[in-house]
Structure 1
Amino acid sequence: MLTPQAIALTLFYLGVSYVWFRYRAKQQGYGLTANEALLALTIRVLAGWSFSFVMLYLYDGQDTWEYHREGLKYYALLKKNPLAFVAKDITEHGYTNGIWNSFFSSENSFFKDLQHNLVIKLYALMDVFSGGRYYVNVILYNLLIFSAPRKLYLLVQHYWGGNKRWWWLMIFCFPTVLFFTSAMMKDGLCFWLMIGAIYRTHLWQQ
């Protein structure tokens, strides 16, 4: 819901992002100016909002909104009992075979559900800074994973060179990647981890 508090938080976090980008842009090897980085982040946020709107009104709030609703439950638990927030799904798992005995199980498995539970807890932590406001969380989420497209931009510049503006458009504005990695789902986190691993391998080879 568009409230004065949500608008204020949106402007605040975009402002914080710009200050951060100005600081990082002064460091050697960042690869983007503060304006380029803020524009890229803003485009990703708008895409994330658009995706969320489509999922809410055309698909009954599947995927990203389900994560948000579950995250709010964990957020409430975090405020009430931080220790229970950490321990939930570990000590109170309810898995019939036990945690370690379910390692290779495809159903009723702690490790199968772990990825889901970790994502939800991450969103619950974002709720601490957004007050549980979904659209503000989209900003925080994209700020968190922003290093992925930036590092990809650095990689293609290093290996292929060429026109920086075209690479900027291809990487930060490519429709399918933009649409599915800017919304609060596991896709963006997987993208972040994958590019992070590739970039780290690139640094090791230097």
Structure 2
Amino acid sequence: MELRDMIVTPLVIMLVYAVAYIVRPRFTDHITWRYFFPALTVRIIGALAVGFIYQFYYDGGDTYNYHTFGSRHLWTALFESPDKIFKLFFNDGTDTTGIYNYASKILFFTDPGSYAVVRVAFIFDIFTFSSYSATAVLFAVFSFAGMWMFFLTFYRQYPHLHRSIAIAAFFIPSVFFWGSGLLKDTLTLGCLGIAIFQMHRIFNLRKMSLTGFIMLVAALYMLYVVKFYILMVFFPAAVIWVFMFNFSRIRSKALKIMLFPITVSLALGFAYFSILKAGEDNEKYSLSMLSKTAQVTAYDIRYWTGRDAGSGYSLGELDGSISSMVNLAPQAVNVSLFRPYLWEVKNPLMLLSALESLALMIFAVYLLVRMARGGAAALVQPNVLFLLVFSITFAFAVGVSTFNFGTLVRYKIPMLPCLVVAFVLINDYSKSARKLEVLETTE
């Protein structure tokens, strides 16, 4: 914490609230306006809290490395050597000619995903005089904007569920905590919300606009650069969503029966093709290398880079083969959704995650009981199917490649809002099916 943080951060926060007050009428209605400022506030609190936790609990970490040993050097170069800033900013980490005195001090200069975060932090630094806390607040604003779009995507389809969807989008503690600070997770969470909103608007509602298309491409590109595996999980699920959403518009039941297998086959085919193309662009995520990448990542986080992030866990032997990944799939999904259990808690941050996991487990068991009594048809509803496919696939991906609870709680935050919204929709569909069954019985 520096003097500039104490001066600049309050000013930036006041400016953020002033702008939010002005734009709120444009992005809210008589129902959603009540969530706007509380959702923004918890994001800002989360951003500041992450800074305090990393400074006083972890004594440093990624968030400070992105700034103190990252964007601060770009900001310094902007004033000391403005002729070098473009080469420094757009560098791919391979050519340090003429910029070595700056590049050599940037910890993540040769890591494309991390350096993308540094670049974004530098852009915000220009407006915050390179104040860490103020820049973190602007990261929180970006995350809030993306999640507000996520909220609107489902609120506009299910306005009667506004409270439950708002809780899922804004008020899950680990999400607004780890998804608000100066971290990769904040950028990817915001981009995911933007991508979901624009995919639905452009391909489901067929409301094409240049601005929306640019936002979608930019969000997908940021996911590609920062955390490629999120894009690999999201895109196939989104393809299935678009196909099924448009299929559901067909009114003729006979035509639906005829087209259903074709629609499912095409959706799965496009999803598989997207994975193949993703592998061509990044060899370590190709189908042939995917299991090896998971193994390397899991053991690196478990025994090296993430050894201080929290308690480790093991799912069994991961030998780098596809079969070992498949065998561990049930355990991987379980650890992402429902662990750590309360008896596995070893520090205060793990307790928060354990309580969330317990609540999620109780909700899941409740829904299974409801669906057993009717309402299982909700699983094939386009929105529910998309959210579940994304969430469960994501749970498997991070669960099988993390092996550390402290790191997992951060990695799984893009999944949690989607999964909770899916649960909320399943519950609503089940209630509707039950009411219809009772009505038919009484008649």
Instruction: Report if the CA contact (8 A) 1:31-1:154 is conserved.
Output: no
**Cα distance change of structure 1 residues 83 and 117 upon mapping to structure 2, 3 Å threshold:** farther
In structure 2, distance between residues paired with 1:152 and 1:5: 30
One-letter amino acid of the counterpart of residue 91, structure 2: I
One-letter amino acid of the counterpart of residue 146, structure 1: F
Q: How does 1:8-157 map to 2 (within 5 A)?
A: 8-25=11-28, 32-33=32-33, 36-69=35-68, 70-88=70-88, 90=91, 93-94=94-95, 113-157=111-155
Residue 61 of structure 1 aligns to a residue in which SS? coil
Which is bigger in relative contact order (C-alpha 8 A, separation at least 6)? 1
Q: Which residue of 1 aligns with 2:10?
A: 7
Q: Which residue of 2 aligns with 1:175?
A: 173
Gaps of 5+ in 2: 97-108, 206-443
**Cα distance change of structure 1 residues 91 and 137 upon mapping to structure 2, 3 Å threshold:** closer
Measured after TM superposition, the shift of residue 23 of structure 1 is 4.3
Deviates more, 1:196-205 or 1:14-23: 14-23
One-letter amino acid of the counterpart of residue 197, structure 2: Y
Answer with 1 or 2: which has the greater Rg.
2
Deviates more, 1:142-151 or 1:52-61: 142-151
**Cα distance change of structure 1 residues 183 and 23 upon mapping to structure 2, 3 Å threshold:** same
Measured after TM superposition, the shift of residue 150 of structure 1 is 1.0
Question: What is the root-mean-square deviation of aligned Cα atoms in Å?
Answer: 2.7
One-letter amino acid of the counterpart of residue 93, structure 1: T
**Cα distance change of structure 1 residues 154 and 22 upon mapping to structure 2, 3 Å threshold:** closer
Instruction: Report if the CA contact (8 A) 2:43-2:176 is conserved.
Output: yes
Measured after TM superposition, the shift of residue 177 of structure 1 is 1.5
Instruction: Report if the CA contact (8 A) 2:137-2:181 is conserved.
Output: no
In structure 2, distance between residues paired with 1:50 and 1:91: 32
What TM-score, normalized by structure 1, do the two folds share? 0.78
Measured after TM superposition, the shift of residue 197 of structure 1 is 2.2
Structure 1 residue aligned with 2:200, among 175, 188, 202?
A: 202
In structure 2, distance between residues paired with 1:92 and 1:67: 15
Residue 111 of structure 2 aligns to a residue in which SS? helix
Q: Which residue of 1 aligns with 2:259?
A: none
Percent identical pairs in the alignment equals 20
One-letter amino acid of the counterpart of residue 177, structure 1: V
One-letter amino acid of the counterpart of residue 45, structure 1: I
Residue 3 of structure 1 aligns to a residue in which SS? helix
Q: Which residue of 1 aligns with 2:333?
A: none
In structure 2, distance between residues paired with 1:91 and 1:4: 34
**Cα distance change of structure 1 residues 77 and 173 upon mapping to structure 2, 3 Å threshold:** same
Measured after TM superposition, the shift of residue 36 of structure 1 is 2.7
Residue 188 of structure 2 aligns to a residue in which SS? helix
Deviations 1:93-147 (A, max 9, x none): 348xxxxxxxxxxxxxx9x722222211211111111111111112211222322
Measured after TM superposition, the shift of residue 63 of structure 1 is 0.9
Deviates more, 1:5-14 or 1:70-79: 5-14
What TM-score, normalized by structure 2, do the two folds share? 0.38
